[in-house]
A and B are shown apart, each in its own frame.
Chain A
Amino acid sequence: LAKTTQPISMDSYEGQEVNITCSHNNIATNDYITWYQQFPSQGPRFIIQGYKTKVTNEVASLFIPADRKSSTLSLPRVSLSDTAVYYCLVGDKDYKLSFGAGTTVTVRA
């Protein structure tokens, strides 16, 4: 299983951009990088997925450098409701998503 490393926590303020970097040095050629968001008392929710370069949707952007050994989730102009745990996952050869401890993002007013 591809192992990921991400910061334990990050603090931010409303309106700022939050960038969470995840390291995945042993990512396999066919692996995708997926980010999930989890609020208390809820299951994780899919945010974005990418393979290389940049992916953008209505919620976030995902930047993946050419070597794919890391990726950065960018949350533009966060609000209090973006306070959550964010997980970086890398799909292994059997596509079993393995969750690490995640990054707790706290947005303050």
Chain B
Amino acid sequence: EAGVAQSPRYKIIEKRQSVAFWCNPISGHATLYWYQQILGQGPKLLIQFQNNGVVDDSQLPKDRFSAERLKGVDSTLKIQPAKLEDSAVYLCASSLALSDPYGYTFGSGTRLTVV
């Protein structure tokens, strides 16, 4: 089966600019997650969707980050305006359900560099 698709693969922007990342989960996966992974650290959950509804966004910096999952399939994560500390890999993952016994499937991520 096709995996989780993310684009772009890399992005370099200047601080205070805006950027958007796109994720297409595995077909049929109801749950979608966005993670932020700073170099040398484990992934940190930003937001979790169940179909097109937000389950948890408690760690999403809502003053600059936003995410949506229209129609319960694709999702976009936006940062506006970007800060230097937003430099990280942004990972999208999906699973069949909240308690998927087979775990999450991650995409390869988008590496963001803010200069």
Question: Which A positions have Cβ atoms within 8 angstroms of B?
Answer: 32, 34, 36, 41-46, 49, 87, 91, 94-102
Question: B106 touching A87 by the CB < 8 A rule?
Answer: no
Sample of 18 more A-B contacts, CB < 8 Å, known A32-B101, A49-B102, A94-B55 = A36-B103, A41-B111, A42-B106, A43-B4, A43-B108, A44-B106, A46-B102, A46-B103, A87-B42, A95-B99, A96-B45, A97-B45, A97-B104, A99-B35, A99-B42, A99-B43, A101-B41, A101-B42
Rounded to whole Å, the gap between the CB of B5 and the closest CB of chain A is: 11
Mostly, the A contact residues are: loop
How many A-B residue pairs have C-beta atoms within 8 angstroms? Tell me. Answer: 51
In B45-96, which residues have CB < 8 Å from any A CB?
A: 45, 48, 55-56, 91, 93
Question: A44 touching B101 by the CB < 8 A rule?
Answer: no
Let me know if B16 is at the binding interface, CB within 8 A.
no
Check A43/B106 contact, CB under 8 A, given A94-B55, A94-B98, A95-B98: yes
Q: Which residues of A contact B102 (CB under 8 A)?
A: 46, 49
Complex: A70 Cα to B78 Cα, angstroms: 38
Check A34/B103 contact, CB under 8 A, given A99-B42, A99-B43: yes
Complex: A32 Cα to B109 Cα, angstroms: 25
Complex: A91 Cα to B33 Cα, angstroms: 14
Let me know if B7 is at the binding interface, CB within 8 A.
no
Complex: A96 Cα to B42 Cα, angstroms: 14
Let me know if B107 is at the binding interface, CB within 8 A.
yes
B31 nearest in chain A by CB position: A95
Let me know if B113 is at the binding interface, CB within 8 A.
no
